[in-house]
A and B are shown apart, each in its own frame.
Chain A
Amino acid sequence: MITALAQTQLVHLSGVDLAIIIFYFALVLAIGFYLRGRANTGEDFFMAGREMTAWVAGLSFLSANLGALELMGWAGSAYQYGILATHWYWIGAIPAMLFLALVMMPFYYISKTHSVPGYLKLRFGESSRALSAVSFAFMTVLMSGVNMFAMAKVMQIVLGWPLSFSIWISSLTVAIYVALGGLRSAIFNEVLQFFLIWAGALLIPILGLYEAGGWAHLKVLITQRASAEYVHLWSGLGSFGTNPMGINWVGIVFGLGAIISMGYWTTDFLVVQRILAAKDMRSAQLAPIIGAAFKMFVPIIVILPGLLGLALLPMKLTGESNALLTGGHSYNDVLPLMLARYCGPGLLGLGVTALIAGFMSGMAGNVSAFTTVWTYDIYRALINKKASDAHYVSMGRWTTVIGVLISVGTAYLVMHSASIMDYVQALFSFFIAPLFGTVILGMLWKRATGPAAFWGLFLGTLSSIGMWVWVKVDPTALQYVALSSHAKPMAQDMFQALWAFVICVVVTVVVSLVTKPKPDAELEGLVYGLTPIPSQKGIALYQRPIFWAGVVTVVFVSLNIIFW
């Protein structure tokens, strides 16, 4: 994700641009100070009082994932792989978001859990909660540090800012507004960031399409500079060798669509926490649907700039290592390059502010999720069970600051050993797929038992680590993991997740069948068939989550057919 070191910084900011950036920092701090009086109880600080509307929860849910590195990385992927990168926004997100809304959210919401590990405690007992909480807390805070370093590197390359300046300014700002206002402050700033990202990034596709002569002519230009496969979503996925990514439809549909995205969007507490803050069940169900509706159009500001860069930029972008050797630009530079291409004073500042805002809200998301899991699922569960609510709020504020400091420490660690970054990013992915298996079995199968959940989660994670190490030690092992000698590294994540999920589910089912299940009375409100779902009969059709999920599905299918 780190962009290559170019000879000179990519853009030069004027006084107007700096004024816009400073205005953003002032505004987020003002929001934090304004909300400090509304974070006095545990429910307020950790759950934002559970009073967010569907719109606020939905946009925050989406924004927590819409970080600057995500924007720049996927714009770079679009330059490198073409429109195939859109799969991570469509099949790699929309079905999972709708599944969360319609199938899983009732169990999360009715159980009144404060976190995903908290749900595992209610459903399976302490051992599963401890395993998932410790792994989540540890990895979240490390990931936050890795992202912090990567963003500081981007700011150094794009703007020429020193690494330490970017790290400390952004992390201290996040620490202040989250420690003051808790989850509510993080959510408010995420919604603000959502608008800033669109305001700062939407001009690139508008002006780019104008310069390219429209979508039809853009496709012609891309075909000339790369190949026709770069503008088709599905037609090249028949086999590993007929598309730029070296992946097939099985990996995309089952690895990405059915496992990785399901795992991320339905069990990663970083995003689920935003939905749990919704004011009622209908809002909690509508929020991911609103998020999905907007997610479908994020490729306009991420994928399209990458494709426009491929068609219009005079220079040829390359991979990281080659860019380092030649002093040229890497794929990940495409978004800042397009920003500098069209944006004069003011607009450039807004674009850079969008990137900074994306990074800071992502970090705030990590920190607020870490704080909740540490305080409720580790500190209260394992260390100090009987403290007062005020004590836990105080612990939450301190944990916010300490979490940020650990992230800063991790950022400096990565600065001295870049390989740590690859390991941390890989480690994080190990937990997602098996955790989805554990949670979904817990919600849909009442026979699943506590010991089975623990061993399924543990062995699923272990298998994922095992496959990763296997391919690391012997790269030819990828052909066995992905079931094809033509598979490229991008396919590894998909198939690794698929196998980890299968192993988790098989182990959980087998162990469940030989262990004693919980009585039905203890599973009420936690499992399908034993959870009374509130009726929506009295609600107008256009106000029902199922109606809007249907609308989103129709648009989603249509888009995939149009860009087939």
Chain B
Amino acid sequence: MTEKSEISIWFFIGLSLLGNGAVITGAGLYEYFHPPAVKVVLFGAHANIWWGAFLALVGAAYCIYFSPGKRRA
């Protein structure tokens, strides 16, 4: 975030998205193979799988690009 920061705020945000995305995708995959008795509306869209994967990808990109110690232009 700032020149003096060793760890950028964007890295923390990447960490948050990556962690949450991975957990949500995992939960979605579990539900895919073990469908619950009571389903949410549009369960068939399996939103937790693709939305979780999307968050994890964005988070991973942030973590890599803003990883501590990496020099950027």
Q: Which residues in A have some Cβ–Cβ distance to B below 8 Å?
A: 14, 16, 19-20, 23-24, 27, 30-31, 34, 38, 49, 51-53, 56, 188, 191-192, 195-196, 199, 203, 207, 210-211, 279, 340-347, 350, 353
CB distance from B11 to the nearest CB of A (A): 11
B23 near A20 with CB under 8 A, answer yes
Mask of B24-44 contacts with A, CB within 8 angstroms, 1/0: 111110010000100111110
Given contacts A188-B9, A207-B42, A346 and B48 within 8 Å (CB-CB): yes
Query: A279–B42 contact, CB under 8 A?
Result: no
Are A52's CB and B1's CB within 8 A? yes
Q: Are A203 and B51 in contact (CB under 8 A)?
A: yes
Instruction: Give every chain B residue within 8 A of A196 (Cβ-Cβ).
Output: 16, 20
B45 interface hit (Cβ, 8 Å): yes
Contact A27-B2, Cβ < 8 Å, known A207-B42, A346-B48, A347-B24: no
Establish whether residues A192 and B13, one from each chain, have CB atoms under 8 Å apart when the complex forms: yes
Q: Enumerate chain B interface residues (CB-CB to A < 8 A).
A: 1-4, 7, 9, 12-13, 15-17, 19-20, 23-28, 31, 36, 39-43, 45, 47-48, 51-52, 55
Are B2 and A342 interface neighbours, CB within 8 A?
no
Cross-chain pair count, CB within 8 angstroms: 99
CB distance from B13 to the nearest CB of A (A): 5
- Verify B20–A20 contact, CB threshold 8 A: yes
Tell me whether A203 and B20 are in contact (CB under 8 A). no
Asked if A211 and B28 make an inter-chain contact with CB atoms under 8 angstroms apart, the answer reads no
Give A361 Cβ to nearest chain B Cβ, in Å: 13
Residue from the list B3, B13, B26, B51 in contact with A347, Cβ < 8 A: B51
Closest to B39 in A: A344
Interface of B, secondary structure class, is: helix
A56 x B28 contact (CB < 8 A): no
Q: Nearest Cβ distance between residue B28 and chain A, in whole angstroms?
A: 7
Select from chain A the residue with minimum beta-carbon distance to B51: A203
Contact A347 B16 (CB under 8 A): no
Indicate if the CB atoms of A341 and B40 lie closer than 8 Å.
Answer: yes
CB-defined contacts of A188 to chain B, threshold 8 Å:
1, 9, 12
Q: Which residues does chain A contribute within 8 Å of B12, judged by CB atoms?
A: 27, 30-31, 188, 192
Q: Are A51 and B2 in contact (CB under 8 A)?
A: yes
Apart from A19-B23, A188-B9, A347-B52, what are 19 other A-B pairs with CB-CB below 8 Å?
A: A14-B27, A16-B27, A20-B20, A20-B23, A20-B24, A23-B19, A23-B20, A23-B23, A192-B9, A341-B40, A342-B41, A343-B40, A344-B31, A344-B47, A345-B27, A346-B48, A346-B52, A347-B47, A353-B20
Q: How distant is A334 from chain B, measured CB to nearest CB, in Å? A: 15
- Name the CB-closest residue of A to B3: A51
Contacts of B9 in A (CB 8 A): 56, 188, 191-192
Report whether A344 and B40 are in contact in the complex, using a CB–CB cutoff of 8 Å: yes
* A43 CB, min distance to chain B CBs, angstroms: 13
Are A27 and B40 in contact, CB atoms less than 8 angstroms apart? no
CB < 8 Å neighbour of B16 from A19, A27, A203: A27
CB-CB under 8 A from A53, the residues of chain B are 1-2
- Bound-state Cα–Cα, A191 to B17, Å: 13
A16 touches B2 (CB 8 A): no
Which partner residue on chain B sits nearest A14 by CB separation? B27
- In whole angstroms, what is the CA distance A353 to B45 when docked? 23
CB neighbours (8 Å) of B20 from chain A are 20, 23, 196, 199, 346, 350, 353
